[in-house]
Amino acid sequence: MSKQEEDGDAAFDRIMEMVGDAGPFQWRYNLIFNVVAVTFFAMNVVNILLILTVPEHHCAVPGMELYNVSDQELWNNLTLPRAPTSRGDLGYSSCTMYNVSLYPPGTDPAQLVFGENDTIPCQYGYWYDRQYYDKIPATQQNWVCEKELYATNVFAVIRMAEVLGSFALGQLGDRIGRLPVFLVSIVMILVGRSFAVMTDEIYWLFALLAFIGSFGTNTSFQSPLIVVMEISRDEDRAALSLWQLVGWTLGVSLPPLAFWWLRDWVWFMLLTSIPCALFILIPGYTIESPRWLATQGLYKKCLTELKKIAKVNARQFLLTEDELRERVPVKEVEKTYGIASLFSGWHMTKLSGLLLFSWICNTIPTYTLLLFSMQMGGNPFLNVFWQGAIELPAYFCGQMLCNSIGRRITNCIAFMGIALACIPIILIIQNSETEIYVTTLAVIVKFFVCLSYFALYLQSYEVYPITLRQTGTSFGLIISNIFGTLGPYIVYLGTNNDVRLPFAAMGLIGLVGCFASSCLPETLYQKLPETMQEGRLFGKGQKFWSLPQKPRAEQPQQPATNRDYSKLSQHESVPESQSDSEIAA
């Protein structure tokens, strides 16, 4: 980092102290946009997943009265073939029926005998288990049998939308500002989710609106968090991030309960999406980041936003545009080449590859668990509720472990926990009497997934040098979300073939993630890389299973070697005489 960049950041921190960096404005903004708004934004991540559930079903065969049958269960046994279920037992075939027309009306039910060649596809519609799900697209539009991949494909479309949205809108956030991207994200959520209720009869249009509604979900979280961090004190930023996790946990926990109560997907979608419009209509608080405006040389607009903050914080702010320009000059940053810089030199390529593997191993179980929790037995709404409610305790536990035993060991423990918790689920999930135990163990798996996410996010942020931290973290999330599109198809295999398959896949993925994360360097108590040169050598020389050691203030600074830049002091830098080619080697 150049001296000019350090001075510019420090100067803007002083300016924020003048207008108030821990006053009513910050806490109101955080409450409105980082907790309440995020709660509704998270609801729109979950609501589309809940309505795409496909309940148990089989052919609806009319004509009981024509054959003098009064018992529905007897009629089903006579007219529906048996087929293995995903749990390994026998149940009614989901998509075939016996050709009852082979026997004339009035035939004695005891004579209704059919062979394997007497089966035909469902002719008269479908019967659905409506214990939990009543009005949803699958039951209203019969997204089953020949259309059984409709819901699964929409899941994949949603995931791809999140990937492309993170990439496109994330880039725009640094180019045109946080506020425009935030507002565009809200509009896309509103259009995509609320208009979807009128389009389930037109599948391609429904899928398109699902794509639009999911395109801006990630940036709807990121933008307000970035703004509030950029106008707050350094010591408050960790707490602000945790507050957003409170909003996220509420947002993923409340929708299943609301849907359980409403039982109508149209009203459910409107209830969870339309309130997002409220967060466009708060002009006193929907501000652009003044720090971003200053870095772009937009000093006049920066002053306008600073005065808004000062007014709410009851501070007198008299700085002029020329004074602001002088105090906070436009920064000159180290030149990088975007994603290509993540793979400059063997060591940085290895670190980037390990981080990508770790992100993929975290994201696939995240999405698979959420989708499969609605299909694995028991009350699906309570399954999803507990999957969401466990997230906040997991993040708090992650913070505690990462700050005590380190990021690497915490991540290894989390991935190993995923693998070990999947083993008993695989052994007992086929038994319908063990639903409560399966649900509990699945929640434990989700706990470890969230624990891994917390540690992995810290590792991604701290392993890369300053000029690549945003790029590296975003790239990891994008690539992992692309692989996350496998989640719906893993769930499809579990619900249509063998219910054990999703947990077997997650267990193997957990083992791969444990290996990948164990090879990453520990970042706790380490001097983090600032330049590309330091990034190419960060972590070299660390012992494989070394525990992080808190530095002692009284110890003299040890001379840094060319092989271990993690032990450089805060004021040292890589020797300028060493060339990039020597470092890469």
For 567-576, how does the pLDDT look when each residue is reduced to its tens digit (9 = 90+)? Answer: 333 333 333 3
Angle at 516 between CA 472 and CA 413, to 5 degrees: 110
In 3D, which of 229, 247, 242 has the Cα closest to residue 178? 229
**pLDDT reading at 334 higher than 70:** no
Which of 392, 517, 537 has the alpha carbon at shortest distance from 465?
A: 537
d(CA 538, CA 541): 9
pLDDT in tens, 221-259: 888 888 888 888 877 776 787 888 889 999 999 999 999
Q: Hey, which of 158-172, 508-522, 571-585 has the most confident mean pLDDT?
A: 508-522
Of 515, 450, 445, 28, the residue nearest 224 (C-alpha): 28
- Per-residue pLDDT for 372 more than 70? yes
* 271-314 pLDDT per residue, tens: 999 999 999 888 778 888 888 888 888 889 999 999 999 999 99
Mean pLDDT of 340-351: 79
Residue 505 near residue 372, CB atoms below 8 Å:
no
Binning pLDDT at 50, 70 and 90, where does residue 67 land? Answer: confident
| Separation CA 81–CA 119 (nearest Å) | 8
What pLDDT does residue 88 have? 67
Nearest CA to 305 out of 179, 203, 195 is that of 179
Quick one: pLDDT at residue 535?
A: 67
Q: How confident is the model at residue 545 (pLDDT cuts 50, 70, 90)?
A: low
User: In the predicted model, is pLDDT for residue 561 greater than 70?
Assistant: no
Res 571: pLDDT: 34
- Residue range 374-391: mean pLDDT, rounded: 85
Start-to-end C-alpha separation, the chain = 23
Q: How many CB atoms lie within 10 A of CB 579?
A: 10
pLDDT (0 to 100) of residue 277: 92
Tell me the average pLDDT of the chain: 83
Residue reference for tokens 């089989």: 58
Answer whether 463's CB lies under 8 Å from 355's CB.
Answer: yes
**Cβ(18)–Cβ(315) under 8 Å?**
yes
Higher pLDDT, 435 or 418: 418
> How confident is the model over 190-230, as pLDDT tens digits?
999 999 999 989 999 999 999 999 998 888 888 888 888 88
Does residue 536 contact residue 582 with C-beta atoms inside 8 Å?
no
Strand runs (DSSP E) across 461-544, as ranges?
A: none
- CA distances 550 to 465, 526, 555, 569, 571, Å, are 21, 9, 11, 13, 18
Instruction: Give Dmax (Cα) for the chain.
Output: 99
The mean pLDDT of 489-517, rounded to a whole number, is 88
Structure tokens at 328: 């906070």
Predicted confidence band at 555 (pLDDT cuts at 50, 70, 90)?
A: very low
pLDDT of residue 9: 63
User: What pLDDT is attached to residue 547?
Assistant: 67
d(C-alpha 141, C-alpha 154), whole Å: 14
Q: How confident is the model at residue 470 (pLDDT cuts 50, 70, 90)?
A: low
Residue 438 has pLDDT above 80, yes or no: yes
Per DSSP, the residues of 301-337 read HHHHHHHHHHHHTT------HHHHHHHSPPP------
C-alpha span between 175 and 153 (Å, rounded):
33
Instruction: Give the pLDDT mean for 30-45.
Output: 93
